[in-house]
Amino acid sequence: MSTWANLGLQDSASPLMEQLIFFHDHALLILVMITVLVGYLMFMLFFNNYVNRFLLHGQLIEMIWTILPAIILLFIAFPSLRLLYLLDEINEPSVTLKSIGHQWYWSYEYSDFNNIEFDSYMIPTNELTTDGFRLLDVDNRIVLPMNSQIRILVTAADVIHSWTIPALGVKVDGTPGRLNQTNFFINRPGLFYGQCSEICGANHSFMPIVIESVPTNYFIKWISNNLNS
Ligand code: CUA
């Protein structure tokens, strides 16, 4: 999760987020190179004393500074497209989780396991324990197995919400009447925090998401406990 003074991306906990960070760094590097070059050229203009009264056109330089930026843009466009299609690829998911956005909480359904379902509300500040995170912890966490392909189906019951977990590189809108799909693979155990990221009303800030990533045998134990109760 993000803590104070952390303005950058969170550490990745999934292969897709790792790729997203690589792409971010790649695009930023190109951006810095362009900024430095253009900045240098503009700065040096102040100290330029050369005047050419008969200069009307320069076919060659026009050609160069039109085509060169176009080629540079390709170096962003192709990795971007690669990532776009990579994010959409789904490869034999072992667990499917359905998440439904409400004003203002999330509810979840484990469709593979007798449709286990529960609501997940934020814990209010006055009920928070000392080890809890304010505005971020929920009463019922999602439990998911690590090192497995997870499919997530997102929808909403009232207005548009957005199911967003930065560390996993997941951000899907939940739209009433539609069922959106994405997938992720958590490559370590732990807690992963997220928040709704679609302005959905007065308590938009107060519908966080918490994933508890556990080894597969723990997950099976959790599922069977819930099936029996
Ligand atoms: Cu739900 Cu913002």
Distance from Cα 208 to the centre of ligand 1, integer Å: 9
Is residue 229 predicted with pLDDT exceeding 80? no
Q: Are 141 and 108 in contact (CB under 8 A)?
A: no
Contacts by residues 73-77 (CB-CB < 8 Å, ≥ 24 positions apart): 75/30, 76/26, 76/27, 76/30
Distance from Cα 199 to the centre of ligand 1, integer Å: 5
Average pLDDT for the chain: 95
- More reliable by pLDDT, 3 or 80: 80
For residue 201, which atom of ligand 1 is closest to its CA? 2
pTM here?
0.88
* 198 within ligand 1 shell (Cβ under 6 A): yes
Q: Are 194 and 209 in contact (CB under 8 A)?
A: yes
Distance from Cα 20 to the centre of ligand 1, integer Å: 24
Fold for the domain defined by 15-88:
Helix Hairpins (1.10.287)
User: Residue 137's pLDDT is what?
Assistant: 95
Q: Which CATH superfamily does the domain covering 95-228 fall into? A: Cupredoxins -  blue copper proteins (2.60.40.420)
| Position 49 confidence tier, pLDDT thresholds 50, 70, 90 | confident
For residue 207, which atom of ligand 1 is closest to its CA? 1
Three-class SS of 172-226: EEECECCCEEEEEECCCCEEEEEEECCCCCCCHHHCCEEEEEECHHHHHHHHHHH
For residue 200, which atom of ligand 1 is closest to its CA? 2
What residue spans define the domains of the chain?
Answer: 15-88, 95-228
User: Residue 79's pLDDT is what?
Assistant: 97
